[in-house]
């Protein structure tokens, strides 16, 4: 099975993550998707750079990374972003179990979603699978068939964050267990292969010029542009692409 490792970007610092968590927590609860969540590139906490898998790209295998990712293409297999966010864009099709810090679905997913912080399902989404996350939001109009695990204890057990949550809750009075988990389950799922930091930030990421623009614009820029940018990591360098571009 092919495996993709996406390199770590400078914007993914722990400090920045904490700041984002704070921003996310403002509307953390539950219920309709909080307005604080924006697709990468739009105004909001998710405005930092994100790698993009364009509409014409099909990846078959294990996709790993240490930066935020927007999928507008097709991914089959497993997605492990550990402590970063994944957005399945409106054109995205994912047939995979997904492990990430935060997951937002606007497109199609057939698989289980594990968010160590949060999972959101937008009205345009079609999801078939189970969701496990401390915080789950869902918009009316979304198609969803599956189960949502909302019991904090069960979520922590499933994500393997039980001990960490307890420790953090103990260290930070007032921090609920549901807010405490920060480590993705990918750690146990991926084992030694998590050492992917050097994998290829230049390959696994949009080009510097592309990085300067919002990922949202990139995604909206059409299939050709998305294919060019996101096609680079799929076709070159150390990474292997078991699938092929569909167009």
Partner 1 sequence: MSRDSTSPAAVGHEAFAAPLLAGCLGRLEAGERLEVLDLGPPRAANVAHLSRYRCRLGIADALAELPALAGGDAASAAPEIEAILPASLFAGAQLVLCWDVLEYLPEQGIRMLGNHLRDLARPGTELHALVAYGTSRVATHPTGYELVAEGVRPAPAGADDPGRTPRRISSGELQRLLPDWQLERSVLLRNGLQEYLFHT
Contacting residues toward partner 1, per CB under 8 A? 29-33, 121, 135-140, 142-154
Per the CB < 8 A criterion, the answer to whether 66 and 7 are in contact is: yes
Provide the minimum distance between the beta carbon of 144 and partner 1 in the complex, in angstroms, as a whole number. Answer: 4
Please count the CA atoms within 13 angstroms of the CA of 139 that sit on its side-chain side: 17
Shortest distance, position 158 Cβ to partner 1, whole Å: 11
Cβ proximity to partner 1: between 33 and 79 the closer is 33
Residue closer to partner 1 (CB basis): 138 or 234 = 138
Q: Among 133, 136, 128, which Cα is nearest to 112's?
A: 128
CB of 161 to partner 1, least distance (A): 16
Measured from the CB of residue 95, what is the shortest distance to partner 1 in angstroms? 17
- What whole-number distance in Å separates Cα of residue 67 and Cα of residue 201? 9
> Of 143, 133, 78, whose CA–CA distance to 106 is shortest?
143
With respect to partner 1, which residue has the nearer C-beta, 49 or 149? 149
CA distance 126 to 145: 8
Cβ proximity to partner 1: between 4 and 37 the closer is 37
Terminal-to-terminal C-alpha distance of the chain: 22
Shortest Å distance, C-beta 175 to partner 1 = 17
In terms of C-beta density within 10 A (0-12 exposed, 13-18 middle, 19 or more buried), how is residue 45 classed?
middle
Q: Which is nearer to partner 1, 79 or 121 (CB)?
A: 121
Token pair of 123 as six digits:
């009205």
| Residue placing its CB nearer to partner 1 in the complex, 133 or 189 | 133
Query: Residues 6 or more apart from 91 whose CB is under 8 A from it?
Result: 55, 72, 73, 107, 219
């Amino acid at each position: 099975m092919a495996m993709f490792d996406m390199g770590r970007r400078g914007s993914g610092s722990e400090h920045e993550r904490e700041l984002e968590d704070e921003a996310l927590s403002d509307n953390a609860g539950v219920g309709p998707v909080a307005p604080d969540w924006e697709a990468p590139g739009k105004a909001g906490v998710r405005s930092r750079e994100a790698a993009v898998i364009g509409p014409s790209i099909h990846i078959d295998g294990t996709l790993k990374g240490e930066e935020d990712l927007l999928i507008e293409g097709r991914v089959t297999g497993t997605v492990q972003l550990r402590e970063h966010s994944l957005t399945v864009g409106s054109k995205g099709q994912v047939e995979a179990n997904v492990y990430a810090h935060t997951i937002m679905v606007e497109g199609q997913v057939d698989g289980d979603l594990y968010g160590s912080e949060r999972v959101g399902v937008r009205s345009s989404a079609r999801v078939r699978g189970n969701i496990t996350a401390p915080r789950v939001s869902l918009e009316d109009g979304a198609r969803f068939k599956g189960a949502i695990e909302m019991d904090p204890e069960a979520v922590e057990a499933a994500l393997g964050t039980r001990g960490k949550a307890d420790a953090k809750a103990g260290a930070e009075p007032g921090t609920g267990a549901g807010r405490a988990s920060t480590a993705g389950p990918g750690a146990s799922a991926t084992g030694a292969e998590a050492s992917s930091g050097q994998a290829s930030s230049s390959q696994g990421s949009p080009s510097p010029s592309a990085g300067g623009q919002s990922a949202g614009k990139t995604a909206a820029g059409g299939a050709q542009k998305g294919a060019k940018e996101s096609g680079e990591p799929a076709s070159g360098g150390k990474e292997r692409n078991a699938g092929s571009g569909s167009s």
